[in-house]
Amino acid sequence: MKQERKPMHCSKCDMDMNLHAEKINYATMESKKKAEEPVVEIHTCPGCGATATREAQ
Amino acid sequence: MLESTPLFLPVILGTSRKNRFSEYVARFVTEQVAKQPNVATELIDIRSISLPTDDEGENIKDAKFSEMMNRADGMVLVVPEYNHGYPGSLKHLLDTNLKEYIHKAVGIVGVSAGPFGGTRVIQNLLPVMRELGLVNIFWDGNFSSVQKAFDDNGTLLDRAYERRIEKFIKELIWMSTVLRYGRLNISIQ
């Protein structure tokens, strides 16, 4: 069962970021030679608009 | 809050070729975007961004370009049609970023010396835009016979382009506003 993850925090203004997209990053797959497709989460800070990514679960 | 700050809609001049007429188009479009209320813009000339050619993708990010793309709410690509396709230098640059583009609006202005106004290069770019996570608007800019559209000083001769670009920009602003709200407020979960 998929666990709820904590939101990412913006490193600039410490706000909770909004998870608005998940995307397969083919470039990452090539470099790490993983068996699974590496899906990344795209987060945007509502305060300053900064974006951040982390691997999706 | 960020939602009330002006939209940032840079214009990317997508060719570094000498004697490019696309520069006149890009300057004209940038002026028109700058006239819009609550919008900021900047002309990004790919000629000014030096990238290595012995690697590709996010490994060779240009810090300033990435910061501009991160800040952008949407963008305009001014793209000449070379042999029915887009300049490789533009693709080389666009491929250096990914997360910076996602859920942001893009409008494409095609430029050609012939009669079709870059329609083929626009069509060729659509799958690239989609894979980069950009959301293409349904208005395009089409500058055909571009060598006749401007005088030697880069002044627009055919005023009909002003009205057409106005429609294009209004749609880009609408889409950029909606997507900014979504990026900041609407979660996929």
Query: What contacts B82, CB < 8 A, 6 or more positions away?
Result: B15, B17, B121
Instruction: Give CA separation, B47 vs B12, B67, B153, B160, in Å.
Output: 10, 17, 20, 29
pLDDT at A27: 73
Quick check: is B188 in a domain?
A: no
Question: What number of helices (H) and strands (E) belong to chain B?
Answer: 6, 8
The rounded distance, in Å, linking the Cα atoms of B160 and B28 is 13
Using the Cβ of B185 and the Cβ atoms of chain A, whether some distance falls under 8 Å is answered with yes
User: Is some CB atom of chain B closer than 8 A to the CB atom of A20?
Assistant: yes
Residue B81 lies in a domain: yes
What's the total number of domains in chain B?
A: 1
Within a domain: residue B18?
A: yes
Instruction: Please determine, for the modelled complex, whether the ipTM score is greater than 0.90.
Output: no
Domain range for B132: 2-183
> What mean pLDDT do residues B21-27 have?
98
Q: Name chain B contacts of A21, Cβ cutoff 8 Å.
A: 102-103, 133, 188
Query: What are the residue ranges spanned by the domains of chain A?
Result: 18-55
Collect all residues of chain B within an 8 Å Cβ-Cβ radius of residue A52. Answer: 99
Name chain B contacts of A51, Cβ cutoff 8 Å. 70, 99-100, 102
- Cβ contact (<8 Å) for B102 and A21? yes
SS (H, E, C) A22-40: EEECHHHHHHHCCCCCCEE
Mean residue pLDDT of chain A comes to: 85
Please give the pLDDT value at position A28.
67
B188 with A25: Cβ contact below 8 A: no
> Does the residue B97 lie in any domain?
yes
pLDDT tens, position by position, B87-140: 999 999 999 999 999 999 999 999 999 999 999 999 999 999 999 999 999 999
pLDDT in tens, A16-37: 999 999 999 877 665 566 667 7
Residue B8 lies in a domain: yes
Asked if residue B57 belongs to a domain, the reply is: yes
Whether B110 contacts B140, CB under 8 Å: yes
Residue B189 lies in a domain: no
Q: Which tens digits make up the pLDDT trace of B52-95?
A: 999 999 999 999 999 999 999 999 999 999 999 999 999 999 99
B106 domain-assigned: yes
